[in-house]
């Protein structure tokens, strides 16, 4: 007896459907639907609202926080050049986090109902509907929750003066990442660097999903050997 394959109904809320795909889930999310208007996730209007974020909310909310934490380091005696160096290191740290999370968490292989459901909310939805403009950036509520343990961790490994600047650098790197990611999907770059980045990222979506994990740069793909081997992406970024 052959089990009947589950079919996702795109006219109904998706989140609690995708788990039923089982082993077919990975294949399903890598068959993208290119449409600017995204699907409905939840029946509840409240939970649906929390999944949608306009891109400009990210710099509006988080850049003032970056300025505030940098001011803490300044008040604790760090000079502006010292703060600048720490911020630069924080941005570099973010690029590594960006690569690591994208490769090892966002692209984890799932099969069970709840694992598929969680993965769809985390990243699978973006590969299924890559042009959904309201689900391209990370919801501020989730970011705020994640900042709490990061703040505590930085205070464990850094001095009271350097920890805020380090957080500011990582957070600034994140803001630049989310804005860049949105632009790569919805912008029409004319500057050569961003043109190449757009080709590089769309190659990850539509051709080779297990390569090209960097968004703002191909640096860590080069370091860890996950640079796509196509003509479009062999150009120096």
Residues in contact with 66: Cβ distance below 8 Å, sequence separation at least 6, in sequence order: 168, 171, 172, 175
Burial zone of 172 (CB within 10 Å; 0-12 exposed, 13-18 middle, 19+ buried): buried
Mean pLDDT for the stretch of residues 32-61: 94
pLDDT value, residue 3: 46
pLDDT value, residue 6: 87
CA 229, distance to chain mean position in Å, is: 23
Joined together, the tokens standing for residue 198 give: 């757009």
CA 37, distance to chain mean position in Å, is: 19
Burial zone of 100 (CB within 10 Å; 0-12 exposed, 13-18 middle, 19+ buried): middle
pLDDT of residue 236 exceeding 80, the answer is: no
Q: Using the CB atoms, write b or e for 108-141: b if 16+ within 10 Å.
A: eebeeeeebbbbbbbbbbbbbbbbbbebbbbbee
Mean pLDDT for the stretch of residues 194-202: 94
Which tens digits make up the pLDDT trace of 137-188? 999 999 999 999 999 999 999 999 999 999 999 999 999 999 999 999 999 9
- pLDDT-based confidence at 37, cuts 50/70/90? confident
Which tens digits make up the pLDDT trace of 78-94? 999 999 999 999 999 99
Mean pLDDT for the stretch of residues 102-112: 96
pLDDT of residue 234 exceeding 80, the answer is: no
Read off the pTM. Answer: 0.91
pLDDT of residue 209 exceeding 50, the answer is: yes
pLDDT of residue 207 exceeding 50, the answer is: yes
């Amino acid at each position: 007896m052959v089990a009947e394959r589950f079919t996702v109904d795109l006219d109904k809320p998706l989140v609690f459907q995708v788990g039923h795909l089982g082993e077919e889930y990975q294949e399903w999310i890598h068959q993208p639907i290119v449409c600017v208007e995204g699907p409905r996730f939840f029946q509840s209007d409240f939970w649906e609202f929390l999944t949608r974020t306009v891109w400009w909310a990210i710099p509006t909310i988080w850049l003032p926080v970056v300025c505030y934490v940098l001011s803490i380091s300044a008040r604790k005696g760090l000079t502006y050049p010292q703060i600048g160096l720490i911020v630069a290191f924080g941005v570099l740290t973010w690029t590594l986090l960006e690569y690591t999370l994208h490769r090892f968490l966002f692209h984890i292989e799932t099969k069970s109902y709840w694992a598929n459901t969680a993965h769809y909310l985390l990243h699978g939805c973006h590969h299924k509907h890559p042009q959904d403009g309201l689900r391209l950036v990370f919801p501020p509520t989730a970011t705020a929750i994640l900042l709490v343990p990061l703040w505590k961790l930085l205070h464990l490994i850094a001095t009271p003066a350097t920890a805020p600047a380090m957080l500011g650098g990582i957070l600034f790197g994140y803001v630049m990442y989310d804005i860049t990611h949105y632009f790569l999907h919805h912008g029409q770059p004319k500057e050569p660097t961003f043109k190449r980045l757009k080709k590089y990222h769309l190659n990850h979506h539509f051709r080779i999903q297990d390569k090209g994990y960097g968004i703002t740069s191909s640096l860590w793909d080069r370091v860890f050997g996950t640079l796509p081997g196509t003509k479009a992406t062999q150009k120096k970024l």
